[in-house]
Amino acid sequence: MPRKFGEIAFTPEVKAAQEQRGSRQTYERYIANGPSNDAITPKIEEFIAQLNGFYLGTVSSNGYPYIQFRGGPPGFLKVLDEKTLGFTDFTGNVQYITVGNLSGNNKAFLFLMDYRHRKRIKIWGTAEYVEDNPALIERLRVPDYPAAIERAILFHVEATSENCQEHIPIRYSETEVEAMIAPLQARIAELEQQLSDKPEA
């Protein structure tokens, strides 16, 4: 089990709950002997590159968590280095909850889900929004994607954890479904053409 994940997620309250329910010793041993997992590995970078969406968590000044789905073309969440992820913040509903939350508390969380391959990765860290930095925005821009960009958001990685596949439903994106049925549609069109060309008896 990743050591940095345990250091962040296993608060005194969580440890007390584990102690009461008999799992504390097991997790203590896992954390003590586990790898740090506090950076983006090539494997995680490859996983991130094919994502077309993820969930971003921030914390409001009144203590409530705020979870928001962020979507875009594959590759819009970019690995800038082993400790930094970045993406462009597109114009949305102008509520600016994420921006406001990050202004008061920079703690943040990424939940990366690949339903097609039943894989998920959690990333803990801090985040910041960056405005009036054309060079950074250009670095994060997705070519030929028309959405208006308001700012960049940088996520600084502190811990990662990969979960097991159990209970993750398999789902396919529209693009994946279109790719799977394309050969079938082509075959149907071919057979229909053969029937139309066949002379009547």
pLDDT tens-digit map of 6-59: 889 999 999 999 999 999 998 888 788 878 899 999 999 999 999 999 999 999
Let me know the angle formed at the C-alpha of 90 by 173 and 112, rounded to the nearest 5 degrees: 45
| Residue 130 banded pLDDT, cuts 50, 70, 90 | very high
CA dist 96 → 54, 100, 109, 147, 177 (Å) = 18, 6, 17, 17, 34
Q: Is the pLDDT of residue 70 over 80?
A: yes
pLDDT of residue 201: 59
Q: Is the pLDDT of residue 168 over 90?
A: no
Q: Do the beta carbons of residue 149 and residue 174 sit within 8 Å?
A: no
* Averaged pLDDT of the chain: 90
Of residues 157 and 198, more confidence is placed in: 157
- β-sheet bridge partners, residue 130: 152
What pTM did the predictor assign? 0.84
d(CA 49, CA 20): 41
pLDDT of residue 1: 59
**Cα torsion at 100, 61, 71, 6 (round to 10°)?**
140
